[in-house]
Each structure stands twice: as C-alpha cells, then as structure tokens.
Amino acid sequence: MSLRIPRSPRIPSGSPFLGGLVAGASSVFTFVIFGSYLSIGAFAHDLGFSAPWLSFSTVLVWAAPAQVIVIASLAAGATGLEIAVAVTLSAIRLLPMVVSLLPLLKSADTRMRSLILPTHFTAISVWIESLRLSPMLPRPARIPFVNGIGVALMGAALAGGLIGHVLAGVLPALLVSAMLFLTPMSFLSSTVRNARLLSERIAVVVGLVMAPALAWLDIGLDLLWTGLVGGTLAYLVQRFRRRP
C-alpha cells in the first residue's frame, strides 16, 4: 500500500506568510471552522452577546470549545475566576500540540517574541496543517507560514461567527447543534488518516473504544484516562518493537 505524500506548499511572490494564507484558505478546516462558528455565532446571539463582543472573544480566546465555555459561563453568571479556571482546563489539551510544533518552527537564533503568534494560533486545525506542511519549508520560512495559516483559519471563524449571529433567528436549532460536532469529527478523521505507525493506530483504536465505554459507565475524567491508557499502551508497543 502506497502512502500519500503531501505536496510542498506554494509560496506566492516568495512570501511564506502569503503561502500560509493560501494553504489555510484551501484547507478543509476552513469549511469546518466556518460551519462550527456559524453555530457559535447563533449561540452567542441567543444568549444576548453582541457581534463585536463575539469577534473580540474569537480573536482573544481562539478555540471553539473554550469560547463556548466562556459564553455559557458568562450567561450562567459565573465569576471571572471560575471562567478562567474552566477555560484553562479546556486549553490544557493544546499544550502538547504547542510543545510538538514549536521545535519544528524555531532555530538557534529565533527570538522568543517570534513564537508568540504561532503559540496563540495553535489549535487543532492549525496544528494539523502546520505539522503536515511546515517541515517541507526551510526553517526561516516556517514561522510566517504558520502565522499565515492561523490568520486564514481565524478569518474563517470570524466570518462564520458573524454570519451565524445574523442568521440566528433563521437557522434551525438542530442544525446549530449539529455544526458544533464538525470540529471534533474533522479532527478524528484527520487523525485516523495520518496514523501510519502501529503505535498511532493503537492509540486511535484504544481511544475509540475507551471513550464511549467510560462515558456509558459515567466515570469522571474520561478524557484523561483515555489519553493515559491509550498513550501509554501505544508507547510501550512502539518501544518493545524497537528492541532487538
């Protein structure tokens, strides 16, 4: 079975940032994020949040699950500390993505401030596209390229949120709810597609089996247990396979 090798990204006019914009705009995640933020825009409208506030929070928070937490928590009257803790806990999942991505972007002379934007842009969508495309570029071009991807995908989120806010009274409630599942489903399909090592496939299978089982058994911290068991098992299998 042959593996599909991604093409090297185009760099129009020699600008890595423009190349990232093109790569982000042509990514399937553009449509996924646009659809997801249609529902978030409608959700914010129904809870009384204005369109400018929605746009500002999209740029500031930049993660659909965390933004839903902010909107729902504010509407429920939660305190600022409670909201901050909830958003922080939801964002912990992004830390391994940042840790795995930044070493591919920086070089020995990269300044710390140059990594602020790539770190902020790192969400599931930007992380997958950056890992897929940036290694094919020279290191000096990778940071502006990833920033271009982030700007393109954030633009899709801003557009989707504003349109969803305007169409909140028109969109059926079932459609709005279904669109919230676009991001996790696209992440799952991308993970399955890119899982080429045996350890990666084991982690995916364990996650698909454990997650619904733990939810059905009503066991708390199901995501944490799934990650620990699936990741540890995949690591052990890969390590023993490398032994002579």
Q: In the numeric block, which tokens belong to residue 202?
A: 């084991």
Q: In the numeric block, which tokens belong to residue 29?
A: 């995640």
Specify the length of the chain in residues: 244
Q: What's the confidence (pLDDT) of residue 17?
A: 92
pLDDT block averages, 10 residues each, the chain of length 244? 49 80 89 85 87 93 85 85 82 85 88 91 90 88 93 94 84 70 67 71 82 79 73 80 66
Rounded CA separation 13/171 (Å) = 41
Assess contact for 27 and 133: CB atoms under 8 A.
no
Q: Where are the domains of the chain?
A: 12-183, 195-244
Rounded CA separation 241/33 (Å) = 38
Q: What's the confidence (pLDDT) of residue 91?
A: 82
Residue type, 199: S
What does 143-163 look like in DSSP terms, one character per residue?
A: HHHHHHHHHHHHHHHHHHHHH
Instruction: Single out the residue of 8, 50, 2 nearest to residue 145, CA to CA.
Output: 8
Torsion of CA 37, 130, 13, 153, to 10 degrees: 0
Q: What's the confidence (pLDDT) of residue 3?
A: 38
Q: What's the confidence (pLDDT) of residue 8?
A: 59
Give ∠ CA 143-227-124 in degrees, rounded to 5: 30
pLDDT tens for 109-166 read 888 899 999 999 998 889 989 988 888 888 889 999 999 999 999 999 999 999 988 8
Q: What's the confidence (pLDDT) of residue 54?
A: 93
What is the Rg, in whole angstroms, of the alpha carbon atoms belonging to the chain?
Answer: 19
Query: For 3, phi and psi rounded to 5 degrees?
Result: -95, 140
